Amino acid sequence: MTHFAAFLGLAALIVITPGADMALVTKNGLLRGRPAALATALGINCGVAVWALASALGLAAVLRASETAFLAVKVLGAAYLLWLGLRTIRGAGHAAATRARAGRPFVQGLLSNLFNPKIAVFFTSFIPQFVSPAHSSAWRLLALGLVFNAMRLVWLVSYACVVGKAGGVLRRPRIRAALDRLTGLVLVGFGVRLAAEHR
């Protein structure tokens, strides 16, 4: 029980820490409103659920152990974030063109998460600390992974609702253009950071 309480506390801190996921929810929420922000959040959490299952089955550990596989996923993830960020910056202030190029928010959220090998590292290094070696099993790892995912889902959906609601005011042309550029730069920054990070 003590391990679980510690897990919940640390997981909560990780969940609310701003990162590429929140930047993507912000971008789609400001650009396209609450439905897009919610779809992005759901896509992200579907990606987290896939990583949780992969971790429980040992697949995430294989990715972490293989430098080539890790590098390939990292490069894909960095390139995807850079692409999203640059498209957002380029379309800043042009609502119709930006919406046309924005793609599907759910798919954006899903791909940005699946292409982030740091999630694999998280699931193979953080979560196992809270499973006793004597009782370690795929089911326990999966259960903790799904608890983490549920916490992340609640947080991102709540955040998406706030961003989507604020978006009505923030979508005024000049304000929206500035926010588009800012969120685009943030996504580019996360892409560069992911590309530069080591395991």
Other Cβ atoms within 10 Å of 198 Cβ, number: 5
How far apart are alpha carbons 75 and 127 in whole angstroms? 25
Sign of the dihedral defined by the CA atoms of residues 78, 81, 85, 91, in that order: positive
Is there a domain that residue 140 lies in? Answer: yes
What's the chain's Rg over C-alpha atoms? 17
Is there a domain that residue 9 lies in? Answer: no
Structure tokens at 193: 């950071």
pLDDT single digits (tens) 152-180:
999 999 998 888 777 666 666 676 677 77
CB–CB of 167/179 below 8 Å?
A: no
CB–CB of 1/140 below 8 Å?
A: no
Q: For position 158, what pLDDT does the model report?
A: 92
Is there a domain that residue 131 lies in? Answer: yes
**Max CA pair span of the chain:** 59
Tally of domains in the chain: 1
Residue 191 pLDDT exceeds 70: yes
Is there a domain that residue 40 lies in? Answer: yes
Is there a domain that residue 128 lies in? Answer: yes
Is there a domain that residue 94 lies in? Answer: yes
How far apart are alpha carbons 175 and 60 in whole angstroms? 41
Structure tokens at 179: 């926010």
Helix, coil or strand: residue 130? helix
Q: How far is CA 60 from CA 50, 107, 125, 134, 165, in A?
A: 10, 21, 10, 21, 37
How far apart are alpha carbons 42 and 53 in whole angstroms? 17
Is there a domain that residue 78 lies in? Answer: yes
Domain membership of residue 136 as a residue range = 24-196
pLDDT single digits (tens) 20-42:
888 888 888 877 888 988 999 99
Place 129 in a pLDDT band, splitting at 50, 70 and 90: confident
How many Cα atoms sit within 13 Å of 138 on the Cβ side? 10
Is there a domain that residue 90 lies in? Answer: yes
